[in-house]
Structure 1
Amino acid sequence: MVDQHLDNMSAGTLLKGLNVFTNKFPELGILHIPAFQKDLQSNYQSTRTLLAAMLAVVKMQPVLVNQDWAVHLLSSEAYLDYTKAKLADEILRPPRIHTVQALLIMTLHEWGSCGFHQAWIYCGIATRVMQAIHSQRVAPYPLDPTADGSKDAVSLAIENRAFWACFIMDRMISSGTYNPPMLPMSEMVKLKVMRPLSTVEFAFGPDANLITMGFERSTPLLDQQPEEPLIIAHGFEILVSGFDIWAQVMTFIFNDGRRAPGMCAPENCPWVSGSPWYRTQSQLRAWRAGQHHRLHYPSNSVAIHMSLGYGESFTYINLLYYVCTLMLHREYFPFLPTTVSAPRGPVDHPTLEAEAPLGWWEESARELFEAAERIADLLHEAGECGIALATPFVGFCAFSAAYMNLYVYRFPQMNIGRSTRADELMKMCLDYLEEFRGVWKIGDAWIKTLKYASLLYERAADDRGQYLGKTRDDFNILHQSIHEFRVLDRSDQHIQEIEGAGGRDDGRPVEPLSFEGDSMHLDMPLPDILTDLTNSACEQGAWSQWWPAEFGLILDQGGGGGGGDVDTATRQNHNSGVSDTGHQLPTVHPSDAYND
């Protein structure tokens, strides 16, 4: 049935689906629309498999709601079942580029659906098939001497994009895991893979002289600046080098970051030139400097780039920059400060063995919380422009920004009172995540993690003595969840940590919140979940405080997905240094903080 459906699909429906995919998944800019249409006419099975994979993720996108052409599509599940069945056979046949492309789409889908093992396998197979295709063309003595290694310019362009998409997805799904990336940049150099092509080069094929130059044109991806700033037409190339930096950031964090052996030594402190943190930060800044200034947000708006047809790529590039900035700076900030804590580094073992230069922590705080602000504003502006992105990586950006805005809302002095919009920005991220979790299952675990962080920080802000002397080790699992791109639901462990560290553990098993049953479903609107949480308060008193009252008010006013003004009086009190109970907030004392 699916075969017949795909064969009978109208040209209009096909083109609209391809357009949605191309715009909404910048990290998978792999489909060359004219070539794809031509291949469909050739009736290749691998082409139909790729079409089904593409339609599976397109059908999930919120942008399809109320679109007349989309009613002719099957369910996402029907396309997925078809794709999986066909790929099981195709991966062992002679390598085809359509198989690689379908595997990459399935990698993204499985990751967003919390099928992390499946995503890892799909990505690995895609990479191996792609390496076989490339070797078949460039190897002096290919394994299949009967294969024709000659390609026209457009075919070479498609091969180029697919290879670099393997690189991006390999970097992406290695983040938040302890699995090493399979496709290092050094291997791309060794294979002389041409640098990622621009939008124009991908559409029309690279010039003949560019093909002969090979990888030499890609050296800016390594340690050199491009001769000219890269413009938005080079968006895919920018993402390639950006995700290489992203992978370095996440590797640093998941190898224990500043807690790794020797990382607290004076020569490895983050402000020291040559330290691992400083080198990565320098690479990130060089990557940013290599982009044309018109690609930098907020000095340039999403709306401007939307008018040029590049709104999604512009948003994605800037999200990547700001989330890397956020993750780098967050690594050294206390996990559990107090309401009077000033910007400072870790205060529990192992502490840094050198003093930071004057003003360094204040500047680090500015960059950290500004990055969280920019992410929230980007997502909100993109939504207002009607070009909202809903891919797993973008969801992680929203989750990370939501957490940091929650953090600085409860502990405003950690940014010296500069984050005056923290409550508003938090709502923006929640609005995004509410819609996101309707597309990708991974969003549910991020929302749950935010609820537990909110519970902890509300208690810590309201009662300074409750967690006094507690270290990050007392909240190790919650801390882990806050960093994970491969996030899991660890609700039971989170509440046990919070109850135990807060002295509320009376020896009885903690009743974990159940999201199962007739009265609670994760597919209900987020405000309804929060209402059910409040109504099902347990005797330990945790659930009645599950979400900060201010954020509950925000969600009630916003209807879970719309706008709605926040409590103006609450914000004014918060911004003026007055607590929600009307008391003046204590003055800052740098040494008065919980342990990190």
Structure 2
Amino acid sequence: MKVTKAGTEIHSRTPQACDRCRKSKVKCSGTRPNCRNCLKRRKGCTWPSTPAPGGYYAAVDYSEVESGPDGRVLKGVGPILDGPVLGDRNSACVLPEAHLLQRLLGIFLARHHDGELCSFLHKPSLDMSVLAVRSPFLVTSIMSLSALYIPEDEAQRDFGCEPVALSDKYARSARRCAQRLSDEPSLYNIQAYLVLAIRELITWTNLKAWMYAGTAIRMSQALHLGSELNQQHSPGQKEVRRRTFWACFVVDRLISYSCNHPFAIDQKSARVQLPSPENSFAFEEDYSGPSLDNILLHTNQLSQLGITPFYITMLQLWGNMATLHTSGGRRSSRHAPTDPEGEFYKNSKAIDNFASSLPPSLRWSAQNYKLHQVTGQAQAFVNLNLLLFHSRCIMHQEYLPQLDSQYSLATLEIDESTSYDAAGLSLDYSDFPIIDCCIDSVHAITDMATMLTQGTEQDQHLLQSPFAANAIMTAAAVHLWILYTQTCDKCPKDVAEANFAKLLDIIRSWQSRWRVACAWAETLEMLRNLYSFSYGTAATVDFDYWETGTDEVTQSPTLVEEPEDANAAHPGLSGGDGIVDPSKVAQRLHDKVKGIMLNPLYATDVKKHNLRVYCRTVWQHMWNMWSFEPLESFDSDLIVE
């Protein structure tokens, strides 16, 4: 109730009431997270997950309250309360000053919001201080991700710690929220789980990333975000729901592929239309656009639709090819790659048809890149083309013939079945159009990565994405194949070696902020060691690097040790948790290369153990070091007994 100068009372509009006041039918102050009535009575204050029709949120007036029930601190700029914290005033994660909070939001919007998360926040109405009251979980998740990118000197000056430590602090608060809210589906919670999942992926806590992404997907299904059933929402609310669903779709594919797990959302469950243009979303206009099923009818409407619908469609096509690769590849495909009935052939044709239907302005070139920078869609443009090129080599690489069968000894007992795929083709089978497509796509990925790396700081930021990392990993692996197996003029070894080193350096340049880049880099190093050992081209191999003193699979040394509490880092998968026994992998080098590349996020100890076993069995299959004369440089002392 407000009082005018004349002394007359004016009744102010009441915000949405909390659950307890609504039940008691008393007037609620509407202030969150605790209304005045609940604070006075020292009762728990809970709220409906969405505003009532015509309702709104009111922020807490912290000048009125020193502390809340249960010892919670409610003063200053305002804490982010992350669950019941009895008697512990230091457990709340306090918001930084307004300008620092805005700085963290700006980093989030520039780095991940428009790429992996489909711009699900309505920027014109976005206020982090208000959002902190509505969803502490989402704000702490955003801060935990954004903190990774703050410059070192700025982090020390403004926050008093290093960026990674700051990110870890906010992540601990976000994880507590994640545990408490896992059975409370809402748009904010879905968005928070997705943001936190991305943060856990790039900090190499991939088990948490997989679990958080899965929780977000289940919540989206509980709220039926994948369909257009809820017509009572405003145009803006509908679009937020659509974009949140598509963010689930994108993050599902990203994290599932990175962690070598099956996708949780298939195309049939994506019945909602693709995201609207940014202007329509900003002005909250009614919009009726294409879906995944009919996007090919709209490829001439780029200026009306924007890039995001084409980027998501390309992601779906890439995902089909990625699934074929991760679910067994040519070892499980009963059709030859040229068989029209086979999935590889169908997926390849679908990708070719989509690519040929794209307007010229969506095809990768330096000129088009500058054009989309001006329109603010550079991230989607880069992601679309990386996915296109990667889709043309991710499964194609399985049809790159290795040379190990040429050097196998007739005296060795070899399981002949391992020399053929499920379609009955020899692993030495060569289909030159497939090989050429793979090599051309790998060179395109390398050229893209090189151009962006040599560009401005913004260009480098656009390249630093998990999708780019997946494409770079495949490209680097194919460059190694060229280096160790090819002798033709089209594939000079010195160029392949330089390209591999270039891509490895790009991955390494991310290690200071992305712990997962350490996993990717060491995986490429291990692959190079496997090739070197298999083809006997190196005088020495660093077996000390591979050895961990035991074959017992324990945990990754990259995990940050925390106290034994609910927020402690999971120790990772152990040998009994479904990790494939490397000694059971087929004898062929084809399978060992794939075994390394499919699981880059395994703990370091696991990968070293696998590499030792691979090299031991590769030697048994390929070499008799005392009779094979051409490889004089190979050191027989490297054999693992």
Instruction: Please indicate, yes or no, whether the TM-score normalized by the shorter chain is above 0.5.
Output: yes
Q: How does 1:449-488 map to 2 (within 5 A)?
A: 449-461=523-535, 473=588, 476-484=591-599, 486-488=601-603
Other-structure match for 1:306: 373
Other-structure match for 2:143: 55
Task: Check whether the contact 2:393–2:438 (CA below 8 A) recurs between aligned residues.
Answer: yes
Query: Aligned AA for 2:283?
Result: F
- Deviation (angstroms), 1:353: 5.3
Query: Aligned AA for 2:215?
Result: I
Q: How does 1:175-574 map to 2 (within 5 A)?
A: 175=257, 179-189=261-271, 193-205=272-284, 207-208=285-286, 210=287, 213=288, 217-221=289-293, 224-228=296-300, 230=302, 234-260=306-332, 263=334, 268-298=335-365, 300=367, 302-336=369-403, 348-350=419-421, 361-383=431-453, 384-386=455-457, 387-388=459-460, 389-413=463-487, 416-417=490-491, 421-461=495-535, 473=588, 476-484=591-599, 486-489=601-604, 490-502=607-619, 540-541=637-638
- Deviation (angstroms), 1:104: 0.4
**1: CA distance between counterparts of 2:310 and 2:432?**
30
Structure 2 CA distance for partners of 1:277 and 1:138, relative to 1, 3 Å: closer
Task: Check whether the contact 1:472–1:479 (CA below 8 A) recurs between aligned residues.
Answer: no
- Deviation (angstroms), 1:429: 0.8
**1: CA distance between counterparts of 2:228 and 2:378?**
36
Other-structure match for 1:118: 208
Task: Check whether the contact 1:49–1:86 (CA below 8 A) recurs between aligned residues.
Answer: yes
**1: CA distance between counterparts of 2:383 and 2:512?**
20
Other-structure match for 2:109: 22
**1: CA distance between counterparts of 2:109 and 2:437?**
32
Structure 2 CA distance for partners of 1:476 and 1:177, relative to 1, 3 Å: same
1:81 matched to 2:152? The reply is no
Task: Check whether the contact 1:49–1:83 (CA below 8 A) recurs between aligned residues.
Answer: yes
Other-structure match for 2:181: 90
Residue by residue, what CA displacement relative to the aligned partner does 1:28-74 show, whole Å, maximum 9, x if unpaired?
1334354563473365241x32122112112213x745558983487
Structure with the larger helix share: 1
Other-structure match for 1:107: 197
Other-structure match for 1:71: 158
Task: Check whether the contact 1:297–1:318 (CA below 8 A) recurs between aligned residues.
Answer: yes
- Deviation (angstroms), 1:227: 4.8
**2: CA distance between counterparts of 1:99 and 1:428?**
40
Structure 2 CA distance for partners of 1:179 and 1:402, relative to 1, 3 Å: closer
Residue by residue, what CA displacement relative to the aligned partner does 1:501-546 show, whole Å, maximum 9, x if unpaired?
235999xxxxxxxxxxxxxxxxxxxxxxxxxxxxxxx994589xxx
Structure 2 CA distance for partners of 1:118 and 1:428, relative to 1, 3 Å: same
The SS at the match of 2:307 is helix
Structure 2 CA distance for partners of 1:65 and 1:302, relative to 1, 3 Å: farther
Structure 2 CA distance for partners of 1:333 and 1:378, relative to 1, 3 Å: same
**2: CA distance between counterparts of 1:201 and 1:405?**
44
RMSD of the alignment, in Å? 4.0
The SS at the match of 1:197 is coil
Which of the two has higher C-alpha Rg? 2
**1: CA distance between counterparts of 2:452 and 2:246?**
26
**1: CA distance between counterparts of 2:611 and 2:201?**
23
Matched residues, percent identical? 16
- Deviation (angstroms), 1:139: 5.4
The SS at the match of 2:487 is helix
**2: CA distance between counterparts of 1:43 and 1:427?**
44
Worse-matched range after superposition: 272-281 or 385-394: 385-394
Other-structure match for 2:121: 32
Count of residues paired in the alignment = 473
Given candidates 146, 160, 173, the residue that maps to 2:255 is: 173
Worse-matched range after superposition: 437-446 or 164-173: 437-446
Task: Check whether the contact 1:365–1:414 (CA below 8 A) recurs between aligned residues.
Answer: no
- Deviation (angstroms), 1:445: 2.7
Other-structure match for 1:578: none
Residue by residue, what CA displacement relative to the aligned partner does 1:280-320 show, whole Å, maximum 9, x if unpaired?
11122233234321221246454443344333322221111
Task: Check whether the contact 1:172–1:247 (CA below 8 A) recurs between aligned residues.
Answer: no
Structure 2 CA distance for partners of 1:349 and 1:194, relative to 1, 3 Å: closer
Task: Check whether the contact 2:203–2:516 (CA below 8 A) recurs between aligned residues.
Answer: yes
The SS at the match of 1:59 is helix
Residue by residue, what CA displacement relative to the aligned partner does 1:65-88 show, whole Å, maximum 9, x if unpaired?
555898348700111011111232
Task: Check whether the contact 2:274–2:292 (CA below 8 A) recurs between aligned residues.
Answer: no
**2: CA distance between counterparts of 1:236 and 1:107?**
21
Task: Check whether the contact 1:452–1:494 (CA below 8 A) recurs between aligned residues.
Answer: yes
Residue by residue, what CA displacement relative to the aligned partner does 1:355-408 show, whole Å, maximum 9, x if unpaired?
99xx98333222212222222222222222323233333222222211211221
- Deviation (angstroms), 1:428: 2.2
Q: How does 1:582-593 map to 2 (within 5 A)?
A: none
**1: CA distance between counterparts of 2:330 and 2:622?**
31
